Amino acid sequence: MNWDSTPTDTAADGRLVGAAADGEDQAVEAALRPKSLAEFVGQERVREQLDLVLKAARQRGATADHVLLSGAPGLGKTTLSMIIASEMEAPIRITSGPAIQHAGDLAAILSSLQEGEVLFLDEIHRMSRPAEEMLYMAMEDFRVDVIVGKGPGATAIPLELPPFTLVGATTRAGLLPPPLRDRFGFTAHMEFYGPAELERVISRSAELLDVTIEADGAGEIAGRSRGTPRIANRLLRRVRDYAQVKADGIVTREIAAAALKVYEVDGRGLDRLDRAVLEALLKLFGGGPVGLSTLAVAVGEERETVEEVAEPFLVREGLLARTPRGRVATPAAWAHLGLTPPQGGGTGGTGQGDLFST
Ligand SMILES: Nc1ncnc2c1ncn2[C@@H]1O[C@H](COP(=O)(O)OP(=O)(O)OP(=O)(O)O)[C@@H](O)[C@H]1O
Ligand SMILES: [Mg+2]
C-alpha cells in the first residue's frame, strides 16, 4: 500500500462520541477493518449493488467502474475502498483531495498507476479546480494532457493512462460539481447504521480485541453509538477498560451502562455538551424558540460549537428543531430529560412568562 498522504481534516474534536477519527482510532482501526464485502456489516443495499459491480467486472476481466462513496464520517468509506481493491485483487493507492494542490500532483499519481489499480481519493470534494478538471478526462478517457512550458509556447502533451478504478469518498456529496459526480459509474450512499447492525459491529470488534462481551452488553453500547461504527468501536474500548479495572473483564449490560455513565454518554448517545444544550433550551428558555447566540452564551460555548458539534445529532435524533424563529425543543427532548413541558404546548412559542410556571 502506498500512502501519499494522510487525510488532513480527521482531527478529532476530543469527544468520546465525535465521529471524526482521533489518534487512537487511527491506530486501532486498521485492525478492526473488515477485509471483504462478506465481513462488512450492514449497508445491505450498497453491499449487494457493489458486489454485482465488482463480480461483473471480474467476470469480464475488466477494471471496475469508478465508485463514489458518500456518507457521514465513520460509516465505512475508507474501509469499503480497501475492500473494493481486495475484492478486485488489485493494489490500492491512497491520497486525498487536500493533498492534491496542483494538477501536476495529480498527473504524477495518475501516470504512475498500474493497470487495474484502485486510486482512493478521500475528501474528493476538497480537490483544487484544475486538478478536478484533469480528473474528468482521466476518468473518462484514461488520458491526461500534461502542459509543458509556459505562456504562448506551452504545449499539451497527451499521456495515455492504464485503466484504473477511481474510488472517491466524500462526506459532502452535495459539494461535488455535477460533471465530476456524473463520471462515476456507481454511487454508494452510506446510511447511519441501525442498532442491530451496530451490535454486530461491536460483537465482531470485541472478538478481534479479545474482549468477552454478552449480547446485552453489545446492545447497550450499540444504542449509544449514534449510528456510527467508529463511535461504537471507540465506546467498546472505553467499556473494556472499565470492565477490566472495575470488574472481571466481562462486558455485561450493567457494566456497559456503568462505564458509559462514567464517561457521561447517556442512553441515547448524548454527551455532556449535547445535554447542556438541551437543558438550557428547556430549563432557561421553556423549550424555545431561542436564537443560536443566546443559547450558546447560556451553555458557555462558542456559537459554532453549538451549531456544528452539538446540534446536528440533536436534530437528527428529533430532539431539537432549527426554525426561522430560533431553536425549538421537541416533545421528545422534554421526555428524554425527564422534564414536563410548560402548559400551552411543549414546542415553544409560549413566551418567557411561562418559563418558571411549571
Ligand atoms: N460496515 C462495517 N462493518 C464493520 N466495521 C465497520 C463498518 N464500517 C466501518 N467500520 C469500522 O469503523 C471504523 C471507521 O470506518 P472508516 O474509517 O471506513 O470510516 P470513514 O467513512 O472512512 O470515515 P471518515 O469520513 O472519517 O474518513 C473502522 O475501524 C471500521 O473498522
Ligand atoms: Mg475515511
Among 22, 37, 75, 204, which is best to mutate for testing ligand 1, by the most ligand atoms less than 8 A from CB? 75
Alpha carbon dihedral 15, 18, 20, 25, in 10-degree steps, equals: 60
Q: Kindly state the average pLDDT of the residues 35-57.
A: 96
Q: Does the domain spanning 33-189 belong to CATH 3.40.50.300?
A: yes
- pLDDT band at 70, cuts 50/70/90? very high
The whole-model pTM stands at 0.88
Binding residues for DNA: 303, 322, 327
pLDDT digits (tens, 9 = 90+) for 225-248: 999 999 999 999 999 999 999 999
d(CA 117, CA 210): 34
Cα dihedral: 202, 207, 212, 214 (round 10): 40
Q: How far is the CA of 33 from the centre of ligand 1 (A)?
A: 7
| Rounded percentage of the chain residues whose pLDDT exceeds 70 | 92
Greater confidence (161 vs 2) lies with: 161
| The pLDDT of residue 74 is above 60 | yes
Query: What is the dotted CATH code of the domain comprising 195-262?
Result: 1.10.8.60
What is the mean pLDDT of the segment spanning 134-149?
91
Most confident stretch, 16-30, 81-95, 171-185:
81-95
Which residue is associated with the grid cell 445529532? 313
Set 171, 228, 252, 330: catalytic member:
171
Position 10 pLDDT exceeds 90: no
Catalytic residue from among 15, 25, 63, 78: 78
Q: For residue 283, what is the DSSP state?
A: I
The model's pLDDT over 246-274, given as tens digits with 9 standing for 90+, comes to 999 999 999 999 999 999 999 999 999 99
The count of C-alpha atoms lying within 13 angstroms of the C-alpha of 275, restricted to the half-sphere facing its C-beta, is 15
Report whether pLDDT(1) > 50: no
Q: What is the mean pLDDT of the chain?
A: 90
327 sits in which H/E element: strand 326-329
Q: Which of 188, 190, 84, 170 is CA-nearest to residue 127?
A: 170
151: CB partners within 8 A, 6+ apart: none
Mean pLDDT of 180-208: 96
Q: Of 184, 163, 164, which is closest to residue 70 (Cα–Cα)?
A: 184
Bridge partner residues of 326 (DSSP): 323
pLDDT at 348: 46
Handedness of CA 349, 354, 356, 358 (dihedral sign): negative
Of 276, 307, 269, the C-alpha closest to 284 is 276
- Does the pLDDT at position 354 exceed 50? no
**76 CA closest ligand 1 atom index:** 18
61: three-class secondary structure by DSSP? coil
Give the tens place of pLDDT for each residue, 278-306: 999 999 999 989 999 999 999 999 999 99
Residue owning the nearest CA to atom 29 of ligand 1: 29
Whole-angstrom CA distances from 297 to 163, 178, 348 are 55, 40, 19
In this model, does residue 121 exceed pLDDT 50? Answer: yes
Point out the ligand 1 atom lying closest to the alpha carbon of residue 229. 12
Mean pLDDT of 87-106: 94
Which pLDDT score, from 0 to 100, does residue 2 have?
43
* pLDDT computed for residue 6 by the predictor: 37
Q: Which of 144-148, 153-157, 159-163 has the highest mean pLDDT?
A: 159-163
Q: Quick check: 110 pLDDT over 90?
A: yes
Q: Domain boundaries in the chain?
A: 33-189, 195-262, 272-354
| 266 in catalytic set | no
**With 0-12 CB in 10 A as exposed, 13-18 as middle and 19+ as buried, what is 210?**
exposed
The yes/no answer on whether domain 272-354 falls in CATH 2.30.30.40 is: no
Indicate whether 204 pLDDT > 60: yes
The C-alpha atoms of residue 53 and residue 60 are separated, in whole angstroms, by 11
Is 322 a residue whose pLDDT tops 90?
A: yes
Task: Examine the pLDDT at 115 and tell me if it is beyond 90.
Answer: yes
pLDDT band at 357 (very low <50, low <70, confident <90, very high): very low
Ligand 1 neighbour 291 (Cβ under 6 A)? no
CATH topology identical between 33-189 and 272-354 = no
> Is the pLDDT assigned to residue 95 strictly greater than 60?
yes
> So what's the pLDDT on residue 12?
57
Average of per-residue pLDDT across 298-322:
94
- Determine the Cα–Cα distance for residues 242 and 47; give it in Å rounded to an integer: 35
Q: Quick one: CA torsion of 238, 243, 245, 248, rounded to 10 degrees?
A: -160
ipTM over cut 0.90? yes
Q: What is the mean pLDDT of residues 344-358?
A: 45
- Residue 174: per-residue pLDDT: 87
Rounded distance from Cα 76 to ligand 1 centre (Å):
3
CA 313 distance to own-chain centroid: 13
